[in-house]
Structure 1
Amino acid sequence: MSTEFAADHAPRWREGVSGQQFGRDFIVLDAEGNTLRGLNGTAIEVWELCDGTRTARALVEQLVQRHGWNVEQVLADTLKFLTELARLGLIDELKEVA
């Protein structure tokens, strides 16, 4: 995989990985039982859109449309977040949209 998640690739949760709201926390659990917690509201929105049906750029466009944010900044931040999720083995980077 490249060092940075590509905007034209689609993020998809890796098999065996799940995310769920527990009270005020959102927990991502990998297949080995390790957890990632402390996601903010935007990170949760990004996570929930990582179903492999849209590219990272399309995901960002959806967020920008919902919130009226700056597309370049949201794209840069989202690609960093997706890169970290991929590094942690929580998502796959699909070269073609499902």
Structure 2
Amino acid sequence: MENYLKLIPRRNEEIKLRKIDGKYYLLIPMTSKLDFLARKLHGDYRRIELDEIGVFVWELCDGTRTIEQIGKKVKERFGENAEPLYERLVAFILELYKRNLVLLGG
């Protein structure tokens, strides 16, 4: 866990956060030729819905803060509602990384 806290996540610039019908979504462009059918059915973007904490974390993934620093900001803003803080935060950021939505440096 300690090793992850020093990583610095940075959003993939191709991914956009948008509010649609009162909910927040990450919009992921479907650019692969394999996405042809999905584009026909769903438009040019895949969507991933984020809750309030997810939106807050996404906006903090700007390439200037470590996961530990992001966690401190989440704790300040959401308090006990964010617990278990670092387990959830690391899992969320690693999932974003696996989907190429953020890059990890540090």
TM-score, structure 2 normalization: 0.74
> Identity rate of aligned residues, in percent?
25
Give the total of aligned pairs: 91
**Ranges in structure 2 where 5+ consecutive residues have no aligned partner:** 31-43
C-alpha contact (below 8 Å) 2:71/2:86 kept by paired residues: yes
Question: In the superposition, relative to structure 1, how do residues 78 and 59 fare at CA in structure 2: closer, same or farther (>3 Å)?
Answer: same
Letter in 2 for 1:18: K
Question: In the superposition, relative to structure 1, how do residues 71 and 61 fare at CA in structure 2: closer, same or farther (>3 Å)?
Answer: farther
Specify the structure having the higher radius of gyration (Cα). 2
More helix by share: 2
C-alpha contact (below 8 Å) 2:29/2:46 kept by paired residues: no
C-alpha RMSD of the superposition? 2.1
TM-score, structure 1 normalization: 0.79
Q: What does residue range 75-94 of structure 1 map to in structure 2 within 5 Å?
A: 75-94=86-105
Q: What does residue range 2-41 of structure 1 map to in structure 2 within 5 Å?
A: 6-32=4-30, 33-41=44-52
Cα deviation, residue 72, structure 1:
6.8
Cα deviation, residue 49, structure 1:
0.8
Q: Distance in 1 between matches of 2:28 and 2:82?
A: 30
Letter in 1 for 2:17: G
Q: Distance in 1 between matches of 2:47 and 2:87?
A: 21
Letter in 2 for 1:42: I
Q: Which moved more, 1:64-73 or 1:14-23?
A: 64-73
